[in-house]
Amino acid sequence: MNAGIVGMGTYVPEGVLTNADLEKIVDVSNDWIIERTGIRERRIAEPEQATSDLAVIAGERALADAGVDPLEVDLIIVCTNTADMTFPATACLVQERLGARRAAAFDLVAGCTGFVYGVGLSSQFIATGAYRTVLVIGAETLSRVINYQDRNICVLFGDGAGAAVLRPVASSSGILAFRLWADGAGAPFLTLPAGGSRMPTSQETVDKKLHYATMNGREIFKFAVRTLGEAALEVLTMAGFNQSDIDFLVPHQANIRIIEAAARRLNLPMEKVMVNVDCYGNTSTASIPLALHEALQEGRIKGGDLIVIVSFGTGLTWGALVIKWPDGKN
């Protein structure tokens, strides 16, 4: 049995942080941000909104879109790098709020590739028959771990959530192939140093601002440009297709230059590539579902289209999916 996405939902907080707002708080310019990243604005959660709050709204919308009752959900995976708490899993908080009392629930941490990891994993539970209905959610409140005085990082990230309901679909459609990769040698390139077992939170870690994310942007940029196109090609080959068969590409929304490099490697015109990084910045695990859902709503993906989804993130991790979009809903 192939797994397919049979419903989606998203949520972004109302608060908008524009490049002009950032110009007032740190030494950056609108022109630099647009030229180097393509980002114009990002959404920022209200102080009382935690990651689970965003995840619940996206999850409810995805279930409604799929016409699935919460009691039919067998498994909830919340892919996030900004859990409400170190433990318990944010997925358990979401399970309770959704009333999905039959569902198993766990969190998945795979950097910005989390949603692709989550969908790949879910497709296996469905393929084996272990589960029939899986809810995968990518949700982040990255604004909580960003130092808005650090211009190397604060221009990039935003908050948001997106969710997908996966169910068995006809074997000619749905997720035809996926592959997930990791290279821990690149782990130092993007970390949140304090608050874990290596460096428990202390007055000193707070004074040194080690409770904020730190990033070597240039190294991640080079890795992403090297990797995204190749990952897409490999997974297409696994599914028995080649690059000319791609109807639409949904890449991780991190930087317009990275997206354009992937499109060039795949010989794809930008009309066949989803871009909304300008509106949301990099929302990490929410980026792919926000982009995919918007593409669906805009009618840019039709039943029967061959979609490639490709992402990368801290870890380092990267992954790709080939989906034949189902005709109608199961």
Q: Does 144 bind ligand UT7 (CB under 6 A)?
A: no
Q: Looking at 64-72, 85-93, 148-156, 290-298, which segment touches ligand UT7 (CB under 6 A)?
A: 148-156
- Residue 32 CB, nearest distance to ligand UT7 (Å)? 4
By beta-carbon proximity to ligand UT7, the closer residue of 101 and 209 is: 209
Q: Which of 49, 90, 255, 285 binds ligand UT7 (CB under 6 A)?
A: 255
Query: How many Å apart are CA 40 and CA 19, to the nearest integer?
Result: 6
By beta-carbon proximity to ligand UT7, the closer residue of 176 and 250 is: 250
Could you list the beta-strand ranges (E) of 112-193.
Answer: 134-140, 160-169, 174-182, 190-191
Q: Which of 16, 221, 276, 329 binds ligand UT7 (CB under 6 A)?
A: 221
* CA distances from residue 172 to 28, 61, 114, 308 in whole angstroms, order as listed: 49, 27, 26, 16
- Residue 99 CB, nearest distance to ligand UT7 (Å)? 33
- CA angle (221 as vertex; 175, 214 as ends), nearest 5: 105
By beta-carbon proximity to ligand UT7, the closer residue of 77 and 254 is: 254
Size of the site for ligand UT7 (CB under 6 A): 18
- Tell me the H-state helices in the chain: 19-25, 30-37, 51-66, 90-98, 114-127, 151-154, 203-207, 217-238, 256-265, 277-280, 287-297
Contact 163, 57 (CB under 8 A): no
Q: Looking at 160-168, 169-177, 217-225, 269-277, which segment touches ligand UT7 (CB under 6 A)?
A: 217-225
CA dihedral (237, 240, 242, 247) positive or negative: negative
Query: How many Å apart are CA 184 and CA 177, to the nearest integer?
Result: 24
Residue 82's nearest CA partner among 313, 300, 243, 252 is 313
By beta-carbon proximity to ligand UT7, the closer residue of 26 and 85 is: 26
Q: Does 208 bind ligand UT7 (CB under 6 A)?
A: no
- Residues of this chain, 70-109, that bind ligand UT7 according to CB under 6 A: none
Helical packing angle, 90-98 and 51-66, nearest 10°: 50
Q: Does 250 bind ligand UT7 (CB under 6 A)?
A: no
- Spatial neighbors of 271 by CB under 8 A, at least 6 apart, are none
- Residues of this chain, 262-291, that bind ligand UT7 according to CB under 6 A: 282
Q: Which of 144, 151, 226, 272 binds ligand UT7 (CB under 6 A)?
A: 151
CA torsion, points 262, 268, 274, 279, in degrees to nearest 10? 60
Q: Does 172 bind ligand UT7 (CB under 6 A)?
A: no
Query: How many Å apart are CA 209 and CA 218, to the nearest integer?
Result: 21
Query: How many Å apart are CA 210 and CA 208, to the nearest integer?
Result: 5
Q: Does 37 bind ligand UT7 (CB under 6 A)?
A: yes
Residues serving a catalytic function are 112, 252, 282
Q: Looking at 28-36, 76-84, 99-107, 130-138, which segment touches ligand UT7 (CB under 6 A)?
A: 28-36
Q: Which of 71, 96, 152, 330 binds ligand UT7 (CB under 6 A)?
A: 152
Q: Does 220 bind ligand UT7 (CB under 6 A)?
A: yes
Residue with the CB atom nearest ligand UT7 in the bound state: 217
* DSSP state string for 196-213: SSSS---HHHHHTTTTS-
- Residue 314 CB, nearest distance to ligand UT7 (Å)? 6
Q: How many CA atoms lie within 13 A of 25 on its CB side?
A: 13
Q: Does 313 bind ligand UT7 (CB under 6 A)?
A: yes
Q: Does 110 bind ligand UT7 (CB under 6 A)?
A: no
By beta-carbon proximity to ligand UT7, the closer residue of 210 and 215 is: 215
Question: Under the rule (CB under 6 A), what is the footprint of ligand UT7?
Answer: 28, 32, 36-37, 112, 151-152, 155, 190, 215, 217-218, 220-221, 254-255, 282, 313
